[in-house]
Chains A and B, each alone.
Chain A
């Protein structure tokens, strides 16, 4: 059973460009979470999604950031008009609710560098 997959692993963008980060959850998992790890800071929650639904987006900046988890395909975190402060590692996690354990399994992350 493959783990959580994220791509690309590294992404370089110039200020003002768009960044698209993809996450494929573990097989059988229908819940996806995105977290951001800024340099020298801890992991911060951004958004929690189920298939075709955003459950909690309280940690996501209101502007420039959006996330989706369509019925088919990976979850996408989209950052429009990137700025240098968006440079960070973005991690995706997935879980299944059977048994209600909420154990989250993380992907390897996408490291975004904004020039």
Chain B
């Protein structure tokens, strides 16, 4: 069974800081890994998807890396802004189909 853990559970930082959010998974036989953002009371917004054969993906100020052998992924957020405040979710797929989610990291960026 795939277990996904995210650390830290919550993070509060001043604007401008560079951040690292961590995700670990127990079964390294994954198909892909996806990072999402969830705002309070809203749905999930897909941020980045990394295929199992890839090591990283970048989109704007976001960079996600994947180390399949150690069962880890990190999401790096550069120059954080108050608008980045949200819960960030990591999810892995073992095959086409279901995603296994972590509990998320609740990020607060204050001005």
Contact = CB atoms under 8 A, between A and B. Distances in A.
B88 interface: no
| Residue in A41, A56, A101, A108 whose Cβ sees the most chain B Cβ within 10 Å | A101
Contacts of A35: 99, 101
A42 B101 contact: yes
B26 interface: no
A45 B92 CA distance: 12
Interface in B85-110: 89, 91, 93, 96-104
B44 A101 contact: no
B99 A101 contact: no
- Contact-residue size bin, chain B (C-beta under 8 Å from the other chain): 20 to 34
A91 B34 contact: no
A69 interface: no
Contacts of A4: 43
A91 B101 CA distance: 13
B110 to A, nearest CB: 24
A97 to B, nearest CB: 7
A104 interface: yes
Contacts of B49: 101, 103
Interface residues of A, number: 27
B57 to A, nearest CB: 11
Most buried by B among A104, A105, A106, A107: A104
A104 B101 contact: no
B98 A103 contact: no
B70 interface: no
A103 B97 contact: no
Nearest to B4: A42
Given A103-B32, A105-B46, 4 more contacts: A33-B97, A101-B32, A103-B49, A106-B46
22 contacts: A4-B43, A33-B97, A33-B99, A35-B99, A42-B101, A42-B102, A43-B44, A43-B99, A43-B101, A45-B98, A45-B100, A55-B97, A56-B98, A91-B44, A101-B32, A102-B32, A102-B93, A102-B96, A103-B34, A106-B36, A106-B46, A109-B42
